[in-house]
Amino acid sequence: MSALLIETHALSMRFGGILAVSELDFAVHAGELVGLIGPNGSGKTTTINMLTGHLVPVQGEIMVRGVRAHGQAASAYATMGVGRTFQITQLFGRMTVLENMLVPGLARPGSKKAGATRAARRHLEFLGLAALENLPAKNLSGGQQKLLELGRALMLEPAILFLDEPFAGVNPFLRDEIIVLVQKLHAEGRTFVIVDHDIEALQRLVHRMVVMARGRKIADGTVEDVRHDQEVLRAYAGF
């Protein structure tokens, strides 16, 4: 088996009285393409937030490439090669598309302006945003903003990428485009964990599916396994 990128032990998060994530054990190896699904409020976003340093779990362990990462700042996770997008797109609205890309490019230790700019242009080209580089990010369409957010995460040269609902609010054409982009990036060796409610799109994309319900992991296996899992069916039907 290839290297372990991220591993959690008994990870829990609580908001006041709500146990949003409970005792989660989860591991992702290099080269995997994992789908993370579950009903609304099942704790998917909270899980991503903990695995990218945006939330500090109340309990449990997070290991990034074998190093204990618990309690580190989100920026440290980014530097360790953990990239993410947000469920609600988060861009630097009044900065240009190119500047949005340069922020992670120049935040990398030892980076140079020329190199970062070249990398940014390469990624923008790949995402079909090259012509927009001087536009303020807030002027982009919703779909373009999603692509830019993905591009910004790619600027980290991440070992693993968490995408929170990349297909939400996206037309079928762009949805297919995003699937192809992710497939290409995966073929280049990037590892993905993708949260979405679009099971059909995920089935086309991922090799492994993890299912959460009420903060717990209730299934973890191939798409086939999960599809016939009684508990999964119950969780979705009962919702």
Partner 1 sequence: MRAVQIVLCAALGVLVLAFPGLVNAYWLSVAILAIFYAIVTASWALLVGYAGQFSFGHMAFVSLGAYTSGLLVKWFDIPIPLGMLAGVVLCAIVGSGVGFVGLRMRGPYLALFTVAFSEVLRIIFVSEVEITGGSGGLEVAPLFHTRSDAPYYYVGLVLLAGSLAAMVALVSSRWGLFFRAIRENEAAAAAAGVKVVRFRVLAFAIASSFAGLAGGFYGHFLGILTPDIGSVDQMGLVVAMAVIGGAESLPAAVIGALALEALVEALRSYGEWRLVVFGALLLLTIRFARNGLLALAWEQLARVVPVVPAPRKTA
Nearer to partner 1, 103 or 168 (CB): 103
Q: Cα(208)–Cα(35) distance, rounded to whole angstroms? A: 6
Regarding 134 and contact with ligand ATP (CB under 6 A), the answer is no
Radius of gyration of the chain (CA): 18
Regarding 96 and contact with ligand ATP (CB under 6 A), the answer is no
Which residue in 45, 49, 100, 191 binds Mg ion (CB under 5 A)?
45
Regarding 12 and contact with Mg ion (CB under 5 A), the answer is no
Regarding 155 and contact with partner 1 (CB under 8 A), the answer is yes
Regarding 83 and contact with partner 1 (CB under 8 A), the answer is yes
Regarding 75 and contact with partner 1 (CB under 8 A), the answer is yes
Nearer to ligand ATP, 42 or 144 (CB): 42
Minimum distance, C-beta of residue 50 to ligand ATP, in the bound complex (Å): 10
| The one segment of 39-47, 70-78, 89-97, 139-147 that binds Mg ion by CB under 5 A | 39-47
Q: Judge contact between 208 and 33, C-beta under 8 A.
A: yes
Q: Judge contact between 214 and 208, C-beta under 8 A.
A: no
Label the pairing between strands 67-68 and 59-64: antiparallel
Regarding 72 and contact with partner 1 (CB under 8 A), the answer is no
